[in-house]
Amino acid sequence: MKKYFVEYKPFLVFLASFFGCYILLTFVYQFFLSGFGSSTVDTITQVVAKNSEKVISWFFMRVQSESVVSEPFVRMYFQNQYIVRIVEGCNGISVIILFISFIVAFSGSLKNTLLFIFGGTVLIYILNVLRIAVLIVLMYYFPEKTHLLHGVLFPVIIYGIVFILWVIWVNKFSKYAK
């Protein structure tokens, strides 16, 4: 049995690092969310909604976000029509936690690891805000395509970009890069 632990040590270290980081960050995030209760929207989701509203307004389109005290989401109105609600799961934090956990599991030098985590987190956040803004506009014009846009196309794009970032990290910056 010891032979297998020695032989598979890199894989086991990866798994322990990944799941340890993922569980820790998820616990911290859940602790953060617990401060808001089940009937209040958290501040990260509010900021994401406001940033998405700002992006749409750059194109001189009428958009408005509305937080109601007793609701755990932000309502988004486009061209004076209620289009979508932004819930906690839309703020991109779960994707960022997944991204960070992978980078930590395949860590490189401390400086490179921290810089890549910071840069990747900022990129994922910006892409998520753009994703929500584009989704709001597309769902206004193509409401019959909501499932395709929200459930298929945009998750493929965001997770695809995260995957590309992982590949870049492993091949260029991690301790496993050649």
Q: Is residue 67 part of a domain?
A: no
Task: Report how many domains make up the chain.
Answer: 1
68, 86, 70: which is closest to 78 by C-alpha? 86
Q: Is residue 30 part of a domain?
A: yes
Alpha helices, DSSP H only, in 63-153?
Answer: 93-105, 110-141, 146
Q: Is residue 81 part of a domain?
A: no
Q: Is residue 144 part of a domain?
A: yes
Cα 30 to Cα 28: distance, rounded to the nearest angstrom: 6
Q: Is residue 137 part of a domain?
A: yes
pLDDT of residue 153: 87
pLDDT of residue 177: 64
Q: Which long-range contacts (CB under 8 A, 24 or more apart) does 110-119 make?
A: 112/173, 113/173, 116/169, 116/173
Q: Is residue 26 part of a domain?
A: yes
pLDDT tens per residue across span 49-106 = 999 999 999 987 789 888 887 788 899 999 999 999 998 888 999 999 999 999 999 8
pLDDT tens per residue across span 25-63 = 999 999 998 888 777 888 999 999 999 999 999 987 789
Given a contact cutoff of 8 angstroms between Cβ atoms, the answer to whether 62 and 79 are in contact is yes
Domain span at 101: 2-36+89-173
| pTM, to two decimals | 0.89
Q: What mean pLDDT is reported for the chain?
A: 90
Q: What is the dihedral of CA 54, 58, 63, 67, to 10 degrees?
A: 0
Q: Is residue 145 part of a domain?
A: yes
Q: Is residue 25 part of a domain?
A: yes
- Coil, helix or strand at residue 65: strand
pLDDT confidence of 132, banded at 50, 70, 90? Answer: very high
Does the pLDDT value for residue 124 go beyond 90? yes
pLDDT of residue 149: 87
